[in-house]
Amino acid sequence: MLNHASQSSSFPLSQQLQIDIQERQKRKAFLCLSPDDARVLQSLRPLIEKHLDTIVNDFYHHLLQFEDTRQFLADPELLSRLQQLQKDSLLSLTSGQYDAQHFEERLRVGYAHARLHILPHWYIGAYSLFSQMLTQRIIETWRDDPEKIEQALLALNKIIHLDMTLAIESYMYHYNRQLEEMNTALQEHARLLEEKVRERTAEITTRNKELEAINAIAWATTQKHDLNKVLQDTLEQIFRILSVDWGGIYLLQNEKLVLRTWKGEALPFLQKLQEIDLASQPWVYTTQVCPVWVWGKGRTLQDAGKTVGIQSWCSFPLKARQELIGLILLASRDPQGFPLIQTDLVNTLGQQLGIAIENTQLYTTLQESERNYREMVENSPHIIFRLNARGEMLFVNQTVTQLLGYKPKDFYQDYTLRKRITHPEDWKKFRLETVFQGKRVEDIEIRLRHKQTRRWLWFSLLAYPLRDEHGHVIAAEGVARDITEKKLMEEEMLRSEKLAVVGQLASGLAHEIGTPLGVISGTAELLMMETTDENSRHELKVIVSEAERITMLIQQLLTFARPHTGEMDRIDIHQCLERALRLLEYRFHKEHIRVVKLFQPDLPPVLGVSNQLEQVFLNFLVNAWHA
């Protein structure tokens, strides 16, 4: 709620709204605003002055909770000034003088709010907020005097309603003025529009035939992408609508204007012109009627043309992007064969043809580019795909068959296939809606199942939004790169690192465990020598046996982890396998994995490095365990 008056008019708003002294008295009488109410309101001034800062601060704190009002109050200096004006306005409620000045100030305040496009509901709501705040203070102050509370609230309600009606009247006045101004502007606009329509109607009538010809050329040039056919059709149209006897179209090739199509009986003459370096003639770059240039030994084109009956001719440059790409040359037996209106028409047709030639060339280039792009896509070692917002496959290249065993049509016919071949744990990794929000996603690793082998293969996804000419996302394009081998290598490296860590831990713990283990084993053996009880001797033997078993396992871990010299030796395959199995024996037992050993008897020793061979067997066993 603002509290400053508009200076939009040089005379009072009350005068514009015809609010004179009789009208003021009538309005106060209608609200029963009496001199007694004025005195009651004057008596409220000390109370309002006491709570003025709190009320105004609370009011603007409330306004700042809403985006619409917060934007308007973003300037700290403006906010401070408005707070002071608001204080003055609240105090004026208790002035007791509700005369012409009071009416004028309230009208100006409402008009200022309307001009600043502050909607009426914000303004009226502000009055409601102040009424609530003042009512609360009045009730708290005179809690023990209900009669005084009633008098104060009635008087406050009357003056607030008076101010509100004046503000709303200002709003209505401002809106009416806007409507009147808009109506005047619309009437003027309508008048000007009528004049322009009359002018345009006359112009359209005179240009109707020309447009028909231009449309015919435009249709021919947009429907056909054979450049020679486009040139022939254009020349046919020119001959149909103009009184032309000979004509030809030249195109710029290797900086020379070369005749590409012609009509009439002057072919030798038109071909002869190619002997002249037409591209070097200044007149070819602008529309010309009967251009003159020297041909041969002082002979002009006019002289040469008359030998074949040419009395008049004109030329029209063909341009694309302001660059010369060709020339239309027309000739007639009539000395006055090319009036201005016809040359303007042919010039327009030439512009259309220039665009058509460029479009045809671009179309040919585009076809070649699309052919190269499709070959590149189809021959890519990666899966390239396109999805709509529902996740349906719009395109996928043939590489999907090589990598996953599915044909592209399998995805087109069954939109659920993409989800069914994706690992359940990976489905939510690729959030299609993120791409349709205009964001790029990359390095998303998912598993897809091969159709025949049913094996899970790892792929890294890159997807990005495909936009139309308006910038709207219409599809998601992406690339799926097979990283299965990379993932297997990473897993193998991780297992190797874990095993290396186990070896390091085993090496470190061997000395810590070895000493107490030796004590346990030695003590058990000593006790076995001293006791004669068979049960005790049996239990002590178990302790010694298990201690030796632990010692053997630790020694195997140390041997496995210890750097090897790499020297070749004769190795018993069965023993090597047994050592590898013993390292995983506890794990297999815990996970209820049964190991069936079918060793080939009488296998001769092999030449190799024992440590490395054990590593190979251990890798095989771990792979089988995790398969």
What are the tens digits of pLDDT across the range 180-207?
A: 888 888 898 888 888 888 887 766 665 6
| Residue 501 within a domain | no
3-class secondary structure, 472: coil
3-class secondary structure, 297: coil
Residues 6+ apart with CB under 8 A from 607: 568, 569, 570, 571
The pair phi, psi for residue 164, each rounded to 5°, is -65, -45
Lowest mean pLDDT segment, chosen from 28-37, 243-252, 495-504: 495-504
- Are residues 312 and 337 in contact, defined by beta-carbon separation less than 8 angstroms? yes
CATH number at residue 475: 3.30.450.20
Q: Tell me, yes or no, whether 411 and 332 share the same domain.
A: no
| Residue 231 within a domain | yes
Q: Tell me, yes or no, whether 105 and 28 share the same domain.
A: yes
Q: Tell me, yes or no, whether 360 and 394 share the same domain.
A: no
Q: List pLDDT tens digits, range 217-235.
A: 666 556 656 788 888 888 8
d(CA 572, CA 582): 16
pTM of the predicted protein model: 0.36
Residue 437 banded pLDDT, cuts 50, 70, 90: very high
CATH number at residue 83: 1.10.490.10
| % of the chain exceeding 90 in pLDDT | 16
Q: Tell me, yes or no, whether 264 and 298 share the same domain.
A: yes
Any idea which residue has 């028909």 for tokens?
212
Residue 295 banded pLDDT, cuts 50, 70, 90: very low
Return the structure tokens found at 190: 């309508």
The Cβ of residue 606 has, within 10 Å, a number of other Cβ atoms equal to: 13
| Residue 529 within a domain | no
d(CA 10, CA 620): 99
| Residue 210 within a domain | no
Residue 507 banded pLDDT, cuts 50, 70, 90: low
- What is the pLDDT at residue 574? 85
What is the overall mean pLDDT for the chain? 80
Q: Tell me, yes or no, whether 49 and 176 share the same domain.
A: yes
Final residue of a domain: which of 332, 367, 402?
367
pLDDT at 417 over 90: yes
DSSP string, 365-410: HHHHHHHHHHHHHHT-SSEEEEE-TT--EEEE-THHHHHHS--HHH
- Are residues 316 and 217 in contact, defined by beta-carbon separation less than 8 angstroms? no
Residue 314 banded pLDDT, cuts 50, 70, 90: confident
The Cβ of residue 389 has, within 10 Å, a number of other Cβ atoms equal to: 13
Q: Tell me, yes or no, whether 159 and 234 share the same domain.
A: no
Residues 6+ apart with CB under 8 A from 534: none
Q: Tell me, yes or no, whether 458 and 324 share the same domain.
A: no
Q: 22: exposed, middle or buried (C-beta count within 10 Å: 0-12, 13-18, 19+)?
A: exposed
| % of the chain exceeding 70 in pLDDT | 83
| Residue 6 within a domain | no
| Residue 543 within a domain | no
Residues 6+ apart with CB under 8 A from 267: none
Q: Tell me, yes or no, whether 232 and 326 share the same domain.
A: yes
Q: Total domain count for the chain?
A: 4
Final residue of a domain: which of 455, 482, 509?
482
Q: List pLDDT tens digits, range 546-583.
A: 777 777 777 666 665 555 555 788 888 888 888 778 77
Q: Tell me, yes or no, whether 359 and 421 share the same domain.
A: no
Any idea which residue has 């240039």 for tokens?
293
Lowest mean pLDDT segment, chosen from 87-96, 221-230, 568-577, 599-608: 221-230
Q: Which of 344, 272, 334 is nearest to 301 (CA)?
A: 272
Final residue of a domain: which of 367, 389, 412?
367
Domain span holding position 293: 224-367
- Are residues 466 and 497 in contact, defined by beta-carbon separation less than 8 angstroms? no
Q: Which residue has the higher pLDDT, 522 or 21?
A: 21
- What is the pLDDT at residue 7? 41
Return the structure tokens found at 323: 């660059």
